Structure 1
Amino acid sequence: MRMNPLIQFMKQVQGKINSSVYASLQGQSSPQHVAFLRQLEKELKVEESLVVPLSELTVVVFDLETTGFFPEQGDEILSIGAVKVKGGEVLEDTFYSLVHCSRELTPEIKELTRIEESDLAEAPELSKVLVDFYDFVKGEVLVAHHASHEKKFLQHFNWKLFRSQFKHRIVDTSFLLKLAEPNVNLVRLEDCCEHCSIPVVDRHHALGDAKMTAQLWSIYVERIQALGIKNLREVYERLSR
């Protein structure tokens, strides 16, 4: 049976960091990590994000480049890129980091991402990159294009590195596309960008993809507001019909 998208969304965003995690982190992570997790728990205000007008909602649009599709089988995150958007305005506030990786990359991944092993040798460890990324995000809503890939990797490594079941708020750009243009069937980011006359620049670079996705989000936020949709709650209500 198909789950109501609003219920599915609420399940996504109600993850909490168990206090027992803090104790386990004391011997493994820096005090900065522990303090960050405590603060992050305070900042997650799920109900507020649902009703903030889309014209005022700040989101963090992000992208991951990875060695493959299956973190549970050993695939790793190579880089994280993100940009903030408020309402329909793409901001100058960005985040980007490579991630340390000691494994040999496949020729396909190197060709696709233009990342070489030498680029990753001196990059920070993933635990630090994630802490820095989440510090950039604060309590804002996360957005990604066809977000299941990003969500799967973040869930896996949050547990592996922090022993945390934490689940942040992630909204998929495809939801807005479906509402604004239900008869248009576009999947790939570059196809969506070309459809909206967004220049395809730095494809398969985490920050490049995040910037293009941010422009896409900005355009479709304006379009769904023109349809009378005022906030995320109404997005999910419309999708559930």
Structure 2
Amino acid sequence: MAYNPIIHLLKGIHGRINSGILSGMQGQQSPQNVAFLRELHREIRKEQVMYEPLNKLNAVVFDIETTGFFPDKGDVILSIGAIKVDGGIIKEEDTFYSLVFHNEDLSPELTHLTGIRKEDLLNAPNLSSVLLQFFEFAKDAVLVAHHANHEKTFLQHSSWKLFRTPLKHRILDTSFLFKIADPDLQLVRLEDLCVYHDIPVVERHHALGDARLTAKLWSIYIEKIIQLGIVNMNDLYEALSKVR
């Protein structure tokens, strides 16, 4: 087997992550962990997934809860939830979830929507620690989110602000599949799409709950587009270019 530097790196750091070094980081960044993230991003090759069969594609479906929509104006991530999907098979027990430290007051509307309270966040790990653990969980998998621009914007902003490294993961939007398989479907909200597909809507506006719902939609639509003869990411992007 050829030497793979990222596999070697991930194995080397795995014990340190489990031992709690990452969760203990507060304030100043650990040079070793910044180096880990930069090395992971360097080793990710987006083009390699373009011809990976969709029925074998390793994906991490994720969701974030935030204080607003504009990280460049001070909005922050409050929680991250994710679940792994292998092709169309959801790995029900292979999940990630963490709250993120935040010591400012939350609006009553936000608390009502998400169930997150200020006191829940005071003992949570800081964002740098949570992001490093999330990227360790995701490794080089494709990231998937429902209407992913929100998640992508926050991850890009945080990756650069905290680690001075650009986000290298490919992030796919569930709407890529909807536009191809159901081009006439006018539904937008996650809960509406779930109801349409008879998926029970539970734990809505909880990061892991929303990731699970999105994963179920992703799994359904992977099957739909494969039946249309779209077998890999390259086919997907070609089909998408024709329906925009």
TM bracket (short chain)? 0.7 to 0.9
In structure 2, how many angstroms separate the alpha carbons of the residues matched to 1:52 and 1:189? 27
In structure 1, how many angstroms separate the alpha carbons of the residues matched to 2:219 and 2:59? 10
Partner of 2:104: 103
Equivalent residue letter for 1:226? Q
Structure 2 gap ranges (5+): 1-27
Contact kept in structure 2, 1:99 and 1:126, CA below 8 Å = yes
Partner of 1:196: 197
Q: Percentage identity across aligned positions?
A: 61
Contact kept in structure 2, 1:36 and 1:135, CA below 8 Å = no
In structure 2, how many angstroms separate the alpha carbons of the residues matched to 1:37 and 1:186? 37
Partner of 1:239: 240
Equivalent residue letter for 2:145? A
With the length of structure 2 as denominator, give the TM-score of the two structures. Answer: 0.85
Equivalent residue letter for 1:230? V
Partner of 1:164: 165
Following TM superposition, the consecutive aligned residue runs of length 4 or more in structure 1 with deviations greater than 4 angstroms are: none
Residues 170-189 of structure 1 correspond to what in structure 2 (within 5 A)?
170-189=171-190
1:35 is displaced (CA, Å) by 3.9
- Residues 47-67 of structure 1 show CA distances to partners (whole Å, capped at 9, x for unaligned) of 211110001001000000000
Equivalent residue letter for 1:68? G
Does 2:60 correspond to 1:84?
A: no
- Residues 175-210 of structure 1 show CA distances to partners (whole Å, capped at 9, x for unaligned) of 101111111111000001011111100000000000
Equivalent residue letter for 2:224? R
1:168 is displaced (CA, Å) by 1.9
What is the number of equivalent residue pairs in this alignment?
215
Contact kept in structure 2, 1:82 and 1:96, CA below 8 Å = yes
Equivalent residue letter for 2:56? E
Contact kept in structure 1, 2:97 and 2:208, CA below 8 Å = yes
Contact kept in structure 2, 1:66 and 1:75, CA below 8 Å = yes
Equivalent residue letter for 1:99? V
Structure 1 gap ranges (5+): 1-27
Partner of 1:7: none
- Residues 62-120 of structure 1 show CA distances to partners (whole Å, capped at 9, x for unaligned) of 00000011111111100000000011100021000000001100001000000000100
In structure 1, how many angstroms separate the alpha carbons of the residues matched to 2:112 and 2:40? 37
Partner of 1:51: 51
With the length of structure 1 as denominator, give the TM-score of the two structures. Answer: 0.86
1:41 is displaced (CA, Å) by 3.0
Kindly report the root-mean-square deviation, in angstroms, between the aligned alpha carbons of the 2 structures.
1.3
In structure 2, how many angstroms separate the alpha carbons of the residues matched to 1:181 and 1:101? 40
Q: Secondary structure at the match of 2:224?
A: helix
